[in-house]
Structure 1
Amino acid sequence: MNYDLSYLSRVLNGKQQPSRELAQTLDELVGSDGTLSARHSGGRQRMLTRST
């Protein structure tokens, strides 16, 4: 996995939507069975939210 740190920061801070590739990579990394990738319906990207 090789992503630019500033890109990841923008995604985590809600300033940029994650790419489908990032969502799929994170699904594999955390074992979420496609939950994050599923947030990308019909090519539209939705913001990932973090629980606090």
Structure 2
Amino acid sequence: MLFDLLTRDIRMLEEDGCALVRQVRSLKPEQRGQIPAIALTIYAGESDRKTVQSSSF
């Protein structure tokens, strides 16, 4: 099954959503490594905003 969009909470209790998106981004394009991603959270701080806006995300 292929998906067209990745949505992820960046502030989860036991997992870092940003790390997951970086892991997906490390995949080859044919493995869907360039799938569009949306980061969501209700607990965001200034550092979270900077992280998701940076090229490392």
The structure with the greater share of residues assigned to helix is 1
TM-score > 0.5 by shorter chain: no
TM-score, normalised on structure 2?
0.26
Which protein is bigger by CA-based radius of gyration?
2
The structure, 1 or 2, with the larger RCO (C-alpha pairs under 8 Å, 6+ apart) is: 2
The structure with the greater share of residues assigned to strand is 2
